[in-house]
Amino acid sequence: MLEFYEPQADYGTPKSTSTNMVTLSIDGVEVTVPEGTSVMRAAAESGVKIPRLCATDQLKSFGSCRVCLVEIEGRRGFPVSCTTNVEAGMEVKTQSDEIGKLRRNVMELYISDHPLDCLTCPTNGDCELQDTAGELGLRSVRYGFEGENHLVAEKDESNPYFTFDPSKCIVCSRCVRACEEVQGTFALTIDGRGFESKVSASQAEDFMDSECVSCGACVNACPTATLTEKSIIEAGKPEHSVTTTCAYCGVGCSFKAEMKGSQVVRMTPYKDGKANEGHACVKGRFAFGYATHKDRITVPMIRDSIDDPWREVSWEEAVTYTAKRFKAIQAQYGRTSIGAISSSRCTNEEVYLVQKMVRAGFGNNNVDTCARVCHSPTGFGLKTTLGESAGTQTFASVADADVVIVMGANPTEAHPVFGSRLKRRLREGAKLIVIDPRKIELVSSPHITADYHLPVRPGTNVTLLNALAHVVVNEGLEAREYIADRCDVAEFEKWVAFIGDERHSPENTETITGVSAADLRAAARLYATGGNGAIFYGLGVTEHSQGSTAVMGIANLAMLTGNIGRDGVGVNPLRGQNNVQGSCDMGSFPHELPGYRHISDKATRDLFEGEWGVTLDSEPGLRIPNMFDAALDGEFKGLYCQGEDIAQSDPNTQHVEAALRSIECLVVQDIFLNETAKFAHVFLPGASFLEKDGTFTNAERRISRVRKVMPPLSGKADWEGTMALANALGCKMEYSHPSDIMDEIARLTPTFNGVSYDRLEQLGSIQWPCNDSTPEGTPIMHVDQFVRGKGFFAMTEYVATTERANRKFPLLLTTGRILSQYNVGAQTRRTDNSEWHGEDLIEIHPHDAEERGINHGDWVGINSRVGDTVLRADVTDRVKPGVVYTTFHHPVSGANVITTDNSDWATNCPEYKVTAVQLSKVTQPSNWQARQKSFDKQQQGLLKDARH
């Protein structure tokens, strides 16, 4: 919704969650609030604002500024309202001559040391100090301005997104507290005492050189212009705002896009967003500049061959050309010779339309989505064991967890806002077990130390999970009543016989996993007996040849210990991209229609056939790797690829490139000329999340609105581009707004029956299932029973990957993400985030480095069975000996030139996390990198020709 710009409401102190209510009187008006509420908040909730400087409802009350004092009947003096909690019958007075005088006295002291340059200050009109001085009627300052002050203090402008101007600082500590309480980084402190006290980043360093992670929490919290976004300094105060959803990771943070006309000047985390509750990370908060980057392509383009120059054309000509070529391909090679790949970066409505166009327009089921290469094992594993292809909890539920397992995930880098939430709970005392080959930040960071770090050897997750379950079963720690009530007991007994076998014991698996048997036993006991146990996992679980088995192993472990079906527990896949859950929900896999219903199910097909007016193919279509293979076999000739960069993100790049070169008509719809588009014949300009309406579904199954804040630069939102192509193909689509598409989804999908844009406006967001029986959605799943009825303990036999280290390839490469960059980097590389991570590095343990004569910063050749590339070395003990690690955010890195075609047995999710490699010192880029550079130069030239 579009609103005139107003700072978000601030109640001064956090909301109390108590269910006991207390009634008191404030300025003669009776007020009832939960026990534990501060007087300040109680007043604010009743419409009375008590002036304040150091208080904000995102932080615990602090009581340092002394501006918020009040009178309370029967109490001596003037209590501070932010640290005084309500009591029954309390009579509070917020205004009196005496109170006003005292508050003005305090303000005079603050103002005596503050520049009076309000008219030229970047936060003029949006400054709490200015507002408070106004509210108090401050008209003079008795102390003058001539004394020692901080006006000459140098500004710190090192951070690309915000400045620190110490002369504006009132030392309220809000920034320091935000860094601690909200973000959990502890990068800021107050140095010095009294008049000399000042905010300092790390050891009096520049922000950029400090431990600051640039989440912006300090900037949000600052009541003055001390910490200010550079975009605001440049553009001034916003004039309106639109609430929308971040398009980066699967946390799905809600933001206020703050605007001047159609220009975004700031993204402010929305306090009422249930996924993030007012917090953000460096990507969502600041890295939005890519949306208007000069590399954006905003005009459709076509060409007959990838060696031809692009030709800019109208939308009509582009879709007519595409439809003609797709029809000709089908006429020559058959109905199944074309297909589509959609992206988790697109909205639910967009991916729904892509699969509809494929099934109803192409006449086959050759549609797949990028979840194939990340969380498809989650869908398979959780559907098999629990009955639904989704995580079980809300993010907020972690506040009730007592023991947390983080497996194959790195929340503080890849899901940072959830990472902060998790760290908060850990600081409160929850126990932590990290299962990861690397020492991720959570293993040891300020005020957090993992109780157990199980540094599992890549490729042996299933053995480790089996060993954990073995300990629980053999030590009699299982939740017997829960299993008897909730699970298929006959299958459980079979599984117990399997898992109880001594071959699964920690002692017998120690040599396979590389994890100490004693640590593993202790971790299993902790999870089984430590209270509420919650498991959070990521691609370090799924992207293996046994990804699906590992997901089932996790579900088994949770059922075994009774840890599903209430707050504080559960199985929680951390989705990499913003709409992985949604793209899977929307029927983007080749074997199922929206709502995870198999294409062979006649009743479901009848439903869709009735709505769409076509006959649907009852057989599954091709998965992404099948499409590549079929392309190389000459059987797959046309591909529509929306928002997904398969040339960079899929494994075995040379295989993918060969497949793309053999496609006769490759259509790419994207905002940039990505790596895949360099092989394309048609380029349809995409729209960023700021340019369209729709919905994203995050890792909690939370459906949130994406709202258009600026017109699409190409003239069409992505759903309109797909609709135009579908109509050109003769597949009739008539939608006037994405809400029409959601209405169709709701009509056809039982778990979405209750979802509509109106309902989303009312509730803010909805966690599916949402239907007649759960009209406000379902925060926690499997509460009374599992969706499949009885929980199913799946057999989880360990099968070693065929990708093994040997003398030629003695190291195991695993991959991951970094905080400042996102996936293939197409967005974040076009922002100042590259100042933190300008290139991908290869992490290698000092021992392995020394053996090879590799020093920190050396160029290193990385050879695998399928290819080789060159990266700079980062010699570090974050990885253990025998394991190397890299990120994959830069195309030139060629991380996927090395990864193999090995994939999960059940879903074909690639085994990105295990590649046997050898490393050696080199002096020049790899042959592939040289070819990539030359190809890129050629394609950029062909693009440049089209644009001029």
Single-letter amino acid code for the residue at 73: E
Residue with tokens 């140098």: 154
Q: Which residues are CB-contacts of 597 (< 8 A; sequence separation ≥ 6)?
A: 604
Q: Residue 622 CB, nearest distance to other proteins (Å)? A: 5
533-537 vs 403-407, strand pairing mode: parallel
User: How many of the other CB atoms lie within 10 Å of CB of 19?
Assistant: 7
**Judged by CB, which is closer to other proteins: 183, or 903?**
903
Alpha helices (H) in 613-751, listed in sequence order: 624-632, 646-649, 653-661, 718-728, 738-748
Q: Residue 799 CB, nearest distance to other proteins (Å)? A: 5
**Judged by CB, which is closer to other proteins: 521, or 544?**
544
**Judged by CB, which is closer to other proteins: 91, or 635?**
635
Q: Which residues are CB-contacts of 945 (< 8 A; sequence separation ≥ 6)?
A: 309, 310
**Judged by CB, which is closer to other proteins: 71, or 629?**
629
Q: Residue 632 CB, nearest distance to other proteins (Å)? A: 9
Phi (first) and psi of residue 301, to 5 degrees: -140, 150
Asked if residue 418 lies in contact with residue 251, where contact means CB atoms within 8 angstroms, the answer is yes
Cis peptide bond N-terminal to 769, omega within 30: yes
**Judged by CB, which is closer to other proteins: 220, or 902?**
902
Q: Reduce the DSSP state of residue 918 to 3 states and report it.
A: strand
Strand order in the sheet with 694-697: 694-697, 702-706, 765-767
Q: Residue 281 CB, nearest distance to other proteins (Å)? A: 36
Asked if residue 160 lies in contact with residue 832, where contact means CB atoms within 8 angstroms, the answer is yes
**Judged by CB, which is closer to other proteins: 245, or 355?**
355
Instruction: Report CA-CA distances (Å) from 342 to 106, 190, 352, 667, 737.
Output: 59, 49, 9, 12, 20
**Judged by CB, which is closer to other proteins: 292, or 654?**
654
Q: Residue 366 CB, nearest distance to other proteins (Å)? A: 8
Q: Residue 468 CB, nearest distance to other proteins (Å)? A: 17
Give, for 108, the enclosing helix (H) or strand (E): helix 97-112
Q: Residue 517 CB, nearest distance to other proteins (Å)? A: 23
Q: Residue 618 CB, nearest distance to other proteins (Å)? A: 9
811-816 vs 915-921, strand pairing mode: antiparallel
Q: Residue 369 CB, nearest distance to other proteins (Å)? A: 15
Nearest to 488 by CA among 780, 797, 788: 788
Nearest to 705 by CA among 715, 714, 696: 696
- CA end-to-end span of the chain: 38
Q: Residue 548 CB, nearest distance to other proteins (Å)? A: 8
Q: How far apart are CA 814 and CA 879, in angstroms?
A: 10
**Judged by CB, which is closer to other proteins: 626, or 823?**
626
Nearest to 883 by CA among 852, 842, 841: 842
**Judged by CB, which is closer to other proteins: 21, or 799?**
799
**Judged by CB, which is closer to other proteins: 32, or 654?**
654
Q: Which residues are CB-contacts of 610 (< 8 A; sequence separation ≥ 6)?
A: none
**CA-based Rg of the chain, rounded to a whole angstrom?**
29
| Largest separation between any pair of C-alpha atoms in the chain | 91
Q: Residue 913 CB, nearest distance to other proteins (Å)? A: 17
Q: Residue 322 CB, nearest distance to other proteins (Å)? A: 23
DSSP tag of 182: I
**Judged by CB, which is closer to other proteins: 570, or 625?**
625
Single-letter amino acid code for the residue at 779: P
Q: Residue 591 CB, nearest distance to other proteins (Å)? A: 5
**Judged by CB, which is closer to other proteins: 257, or 551?**
551
Q: 579, exposed or middle or buried, with CB in 10 Å at 0-12, 13-18, 19+?
A: buried
∠ CA 49-52-53 to the nearest 5 degrees? 145
**Judged by CB, which is closer to other proteins: 520, or 550?**
550
Q: Which residues are CB-contacts of 934 (< 8 A; sequence separation ≥ 6)?
A: none
Binding stretches for other proteins (CB under 8 A): 336, 365-366, 498, 545-546, 549, 590-591, 598, 600, 619-623, 626, 629-630, 633, 635, 795-797, 799, 905-907
